[in-house]
Amino acid sequence: MTEATEITETAEATEMTEAAETAETAEAAEAEPTLTPTVGLGVLHLFCRVSGGFDAPAVLEAETAVRKAGGQVIAASILGHKADVALMVLGPDLWQLRRFQSAVAAAGLEPVSSYVSLTEVSEYAAGLPEELKQSRLYPQLPPEGKPAFCFYPMSKRRGSAPDAHNWYVLDYEDRLELMVGHGRIGRQFHGRVLQLVTGSVGLDDFEWGVTLFAVHPDDLKECVYQMRFDRASALYAEFGPFYTGMVAGLETVLAAAAR
């Protein structure tokens, strides 16, 4: 090998290395950002109305993208004037949830309301078996055989008047006792209603989002009714708007909304 050939090959190798480094730098610069909770999943509820030029295949593509990224999309057809479609999206990356939100809006599903929260294990559930803790942090939805759907946000009261009820001035032991009684009522609906409570303190207008899946719509009604007699609810709970409907495959829900 001549000295000239050796110099040429060295120069070519240097150029290839520099080109590869430039490509890697560009790829890193173009990489999509991520934001994940330290534990659990991000949860985004979108309540949408169908607008003109609705593109159902584009929404289905957005769902596929979420699933490929390890997330879940639960669709419900909403009854009443508040919305046409509910899309509950769960995933480890909040940026992925945001991309889904952008995609469905661009496809003609206009969000008229939304709710942002994270899956969590309540401080009052420290003694739960590990399997149940994991099912709350990483739920697999929707549950089989429970097509009735309901979502509402709620907070605990923080009254300031001398005779007002303020959850946050109670001792932990008092709060724990109230929540144990609250859970006792909920367990009466085991097999009929599945409840997922997600935390939104500091994230949205209320402190928790409550998503219910039930066998029948009257199971939802009876469950919420009985819960309101419990002291934890009767004295300390404040509720936001309720969204009610039927869980089905996304294609079915979109077809109903487009009619």
- Tens of pLDDT along 168-210? 999 999 999 999 999 899 899 999 999 999 999 999 999 999 9
| The CATH homologous superfamily of the domain defined by 42-258 | Apc35880; domain 1 (3.30.70.1030)
Cβ count within 10 A of residue 7: 10
Q: Which residue type occupies 235?
A: L
pLDDT, tens only, 27-53? 544 688 999 999 999 999 999 999 878
Q: How many residues can be counted in the chain?
A: 259
Do residues 136 and 120 lie in contact, with contact meaning Cβ atoms separated by under 8 Å? yes
Q: With a cut of 80, say whether residue 126 has pLDDT above it.
A: no
Letter string b/e over residues 171-194, b meaning 16 or more CB atoms within 10 A of that residue's CB: eeeebeebbeebeebeeebeebbb
Q: With a cut of 80, say whether residue 5 has pLDDT above it.
A: no
Would you please indicate which residues are annotated as catalytic (active-site) residues? Answer: 152
Q: Which residue type occupies 206?
A: F
For the segment 10-17, the average pLDDT, to the nearest whole number, is: 57
Answer yes or no: pTM beyond 0.95.
no
